[in-house]
Amino acid sequence: MIDPEYDTFKPEYKEAFEHLNIAWLDEFFVVEAYDRKVLGNPQEFIIDKQGHILIAKIDNRVVGTVALMKIDEAEYELTKMAIDKAYRGQKIGQKLLTFALSFAKENLITSLILYSNRTLENAIYIYGKFGFEEVPLETNTPYNRADIKMKLNL
């Protein structure tokens, strides 16, 4: 099992962040207009709004991403999590999620929400394993594909 190195967003990661997420969305769903907007300009839509993008690298190659998008002072959305298809099945997603939760605590984030889809049974199971619990899904979610919302108090 390979342990990735972790980093926070730098401009040189923009292309990999966009590519990995679009590839994942194309594989499982469809890339929505909101996705294109955020993925095409993560600096403006995530970083400049006091959010964070975390990167997993193996041999200096970006193999995973996850973003923490600020909702308010204490709550963030865990989003844009994608793992390079060639590296799936090696628990890199779980390791990146562990890193993201530690990073969130260190940055005084007290709760995380996420939107997902019930067809992603493995992902939902893993989120549950990490302590996320289902909460009511509002009708005006940012994603058409979302049919479940989960929350974790840190």
Give the domains, in start order, of the chain with CATH numbers. Answer: 5-153 (3.40.630.30)
148: left (phi over 0), alpha (psi -120 to 50) or beta: beta
**Amino acid in the structure at residue 143:** Y
Q: What is the mean pLDDT of the chain?
A: 94
Q: What is the pLDDT of residue 1?
A: 66
Of 83, 84, 79, 122, nearest to 104 (Cα)? Answer: 79
Of 2-6, 28-32, 83-87, 140-144, the one with minimum mean pLDDT is 140-144
Of 154, 135, 137, 133, nearest to 146 (Cα)? Answer: 137
**For 25-58, how does the pLDDT look when each residue is reduced to its tens digit (9 = 90+)?**
999 888 988 899 999 999 999 999 999 999 999 9
Residue 86 CB burial class (10 angstroms; 0-12, 13-18, ≥19): exposed
